Amino acid sequence: MSTARFHVFSGTGNGRSIARELSARLGLRGFSTEMLEVSFRSIEKGSATISRGEGDLDIFIFPVYAMSVPRIMARYAAGLGRAGRQGGAPRAAVLSVNGRISPERRDGHEGQALAQAERVLRRRGWDVRYRETFDYPQNVTSIGSAQDAETRAAIVSLMAPRLETVAEELAAGLRRKRPCPAWAHILGWPFGWLYRIFGRRAWGLLFAADERCDGCGLCAERCPSGAIRMRGGRPGWSYACEGCERCMNLCPKKAIQASLLRFSLVIGLSIALFRVPPGLREALSSLPGWVPTLGWMGAATLAGFALLRLLDLALVALSRLAFLRPILGFGWTRWTRRYPDPSRGSTDGRP
């Protein structure tokens, strides 16, 4: 019996839900199925325990971050080792999940994520035969509320026929690739690179636990990138953060917020550090104007991340003082709706 093996990175559950739906459908079509969670632990473990056979299909499922593949998924795929088996390259499919705000029209896009994932896998010896994306409810709850239950259900219902079609095509071994337009390559590469290097790291330092946090440690235990550490019973985020927002949406107390104080610090530091000193411009006046600008921006970026890390450690230490927690953890997300994991049947709710 052939095996359909799912390699899933899913922050808030959309990708995991798709994997379970496809697993059930492929099971009805004669496949045995296996589910592998992509996390920092699986990256460390590698592919030593994976045994592939003739007719097997490996399906890689991930969300779209900044029109690109999440860093953790790219690292996982690259770390699987050279793919190969007797009789040719193993078969693979890449499936992405992008956010959708409205059931009336498609307002999300996969960008270059599918094509990028295929490039990573092909370099490791995989025969990528299939590329497709799914529109699921947007889940970036650090910016705004998740949709209400009715809207989410309407968006998910649109995907049911697609899931059936994709399962049928995967089982039949169809070779079909969703095209990636030129504009998605042009915009997706720099956008994805900037998010991977800078965006996700700064994003992680915006999170803070308010006074409702009881120190249960669930956020640290379930963080797929290992970015959360408990210090004195309080969670702290590191630069390993992927920005998946699992912690914020998983917390049973709705205690994790996008901190207004931390956001203000990031903006304030950016304004203070990125202004090129007049003296530097004068000293390098013989050079083209962009030389001091780019040089200072590079130095300011490194200094900014170092300062932010020091401030983060100080704020986590201060959060041990109970009377400061409402201030340190105060943010607009105290009043926003969280995103319930669709793969676990979570209930809708507000903090």
Q: What distance in Å separates the CA atoms of residue 69 and residue 204, rounded to the nearest whole number?
A: 18
The mean predicted confidence, pLDDT, of the chain is 86
Indicate if 233 and 164 belong to the same structural domain. Answer: no
Indicate if 13 and 151 belong to the same structural domain. Answer: yes
Indicate if 130 and 260 belong to the same structural domain. Answer: no
187 domain residue, yes or no: no
How many domains does one find in the chain? 2
The pTM assigned to this predicted structure is 0.87
Indicate if 210 and 273 belong to the same structural domain. Answer: yes
Helix H or strand E encompassing 30? none
Indicate if 85 and 164 belong to the same structural domain. Answer: yes
| 124-181 pLDDT, tens digit each | 888 999 999 999 999 999 988 999 999 999 999 999 999 999 999 999 999 999 999 9
Domain span at 106: 3-181
186 domain residue, yes or no: no
Residue of 97, 150, 101 whose CA lies nearest to 348? 150
CATH of the domain at 257: 3.30.70.20
Q: Residue 113 in 3-state DSSP?
A: helix
Indicate if 107 and 161 belong to the same structural domain. Answer: yes
342 domain residue, yes or no: no
Q: How confident is the chain (351 residues) per 10-residue block, as mean pLDDT?
A: 92 94 95 93 69 84 95 90 63 94 88 95 91 94 91 93 95 94 91 88 88 94 94 90 94 93 83 68 60 68 79 85 88 92 56 29
Q: Note whether 331 and 259 are within 8 A (CB).
A: yes
Residue 142 φ then ψ, to 5°: -75, -15
